[in-house]
Amino acid sequence: MTMGNRFITTRSNGHTVRKNGPGLVIAERFVSPYEFVPAGKEIYFEGERSAHLYLMIEGWAYQYQTLRDGRRQILDFSLPGTLLGISPGPATKMPHTAESLTGVTVAAIPREWLREIFVREPDFAMRVVSAAGDTINQAYDNLTDVGRRTAYEALARLMLRLFTRIRTQCPDTWGNSVELPLTQAHIGDALGLTSVHVCRTLGTLRRDGVLKLRDGTLTILDFGRLTEIAGDGSEVVVSPRRDKVAGKLAEGTHE
């Protein structure tokens, strides 16, 4: 970063906007700039009327709701290709918060543009609907995990799903290990468990030779057994064309 600084603005919320830098090309007329969000910063807040949709370009984020007494439910994790912030209307308050887990770059698409983009590029509308369908399926899957599976099963499933999602989204991974920038508290809040119980259950899974999670690295030890515990393989949302969204939606000018 030697000379590009005059294009870069850092906002009060810590986001960095590359004003004239490369961004997401949606239609001939619409280019939304890339925005960088450092780790642990909110992308939008619960209660906020968020003016943008965000397409994840790089990094990890997650969404959560909190109750007044501090209980927290993580709703979803977002990897590159995910469209964040789909809501019933531009005036609707977001019912949850989105926060970066690692440093994140997103393309911020103003909601005001949406209708106009749909007019010019109906395929974009198709992809937004497709992304929404993905999000719905993820949420439903999580719901079944939390509501109807034991901690052991749910944890196995979550690890399996994250593993396969990372694999399909991030082509620069191989072997049976991936980086997982999650604390046990994150995992617990995603599954409706305490971090203490996540720790114990993770221990059981390791002792059973199924998987290992240490120092932010998830290693699958026995793929067959893992899918067995996680339940029917067909129940796993493999998110078959998530990469299509990422590939075609995110045709940004990279440098």
Partner DNA sequence: CGGCTCGTTGATCAACCTCAATCAGTGTGG
Partner DNA sequence: CCACACTGATTGAGGTTGATCAACGAGCCG
Provide the binding-site residues for DNA, judged by CB under 7 A: 150-152, 183-185, 188, 192-197, 199-203, 214
Distance CA 55, CA 4 (A): 23
Q: How far is the CB of 143 from DNA (least distance, A)?
A: 14
Least Å distance, CB 6 to a second copy, is: 36
Residue ranges binding a second copy (CB under 8 A) = 47, 63, 65, 67-68, 71-73, 75, 86-89, 92-93, 95-96, 114-115, 118-119, 122-123, 125-126, 128-137, 139-144, 146-149, 191-192, 231-232, 234-235, 237, 239-242
Nearer to a second copy, 171 or 240 (CB): 240
User: Measured between alpha carbons, how far apart are the two ends of the chain, in Å?
Assistant: 13
**What is the rounded CA–CA span in Å between residue 144 and residue 147?**
5
> What's the half-sphere exposure (Cβ side, CA atoms, 13 Å) at 247?
8
Nearer to DNA, 35 or 145 (CB): 145
For residues 137 and 183, which CB has a smaller minimum distance to DNA in the complex? 183
Minimum CB separation of residue 104 from a second copy in Å reads 20
Residue 28 to residues 21, 116, 121, Cα–Cα distance (Å): 17, 12, 9
> Which amino acid, 87?
S
Residue 252, burial from CB neighbour count under 10 angstroms (0-12, 13-18, 19+): buried
Is 200 exposed, middle or buried, given 0-12, 13-18 or 19+ CB atoms closer than 10 A?
middle
Nearer to a second copy, 1 or 67 (CB): 67
CB of 192 to DNA, least distance (A): 6
List of residues 6+ apart from 196 with CB closer than 8 A: none
Q: In the complex with DNA, which residue's Cβ is closer, 139 or 196?
A: 196
Least separation, in Å, of the C-beta of 224 and a second copy?
A: 17
